[in-house]
Structure 1
Amino acid sequence: MGIKTPLINSFWLTRSFATTVVNNPPKDGQGNEMKIEITDRAVKQLLSLMARDKHDNEALRITVDSGGCHGFQYFYDLTPVNALKEDDVLFENNGAKVVIDSLSLGLIKGSKIDYTEELIGSQFKVVDNPQAATGCG
């Protein structure tokens, strides 16, 4: 008789990201690869944006600033893939590319990059960030 693993643990152990690391796969303190997931909505929007504006060799750059009590601040920009910096990590999902510097990646590893459409506007968004803490003190 063996010990049964709870369903939640087996889910996380077998979960595979559709997102792949194209270059510089960094590891965290435990030796695990730091990953993010690019959702299908974000892929669709990025590919649409690239096709519409003829930015076929660019990626969505995400930079994170740890804002203290106000949490993380996320900054988004387009950047040429051929102008990546040494500490940049390039992720790809079905042709959509996201670039994150290694310091920022440490603050959002395990998160999802999503695209949301709401009444107040549409935007790329970092969601389900396991590194984000809520509130102060």
Structure 2
Amino acid sequence: GSEGEERVPQLRDEMRRLMNTKVWIFRTGEELKSALKEIRTLKERFKHIKVEDKGKTFNTGFTAALQLDFMLDLAEVTTISALARTESRGAHSRLDYPKRDDEKWLVHTLAYYTVDGPRLEYIPVTITKWQPAIRKY
């Protein structure tokens, strides 16, 4: 709604802090579960936002609300995907699963919107020229 008590900048800042502390590169399952719960709370609170700008042109308040709605959906699917992937790979580093698992996780994650929340599916990675290898930096 546009007449609620929640403010878009406040919710956006809470989401930003949450993603930067619990869903950043170095993650744990417990942090991700906690983050998912908090994201879903933010999504519920979003239903009660107040858009103060009532203008019909260049309505930046309405634009910010639309963007936050999409960002909350993206935060949810990112967190669900990270929680499901029980390995570390590239910029996804699970401290509770520090090793890469090509046998199970050499796949692309596909996320689909459903009314009950994101649904994940997986398709195998097609290996062309370069075989997977452990990177040492």
Q: How high is the TM-score relative to the length of structure 2?
A: 0.23
More strand by percentage: 1
Larger helix share, 1 or 2: 2
The structure with more radius of gyration: 2
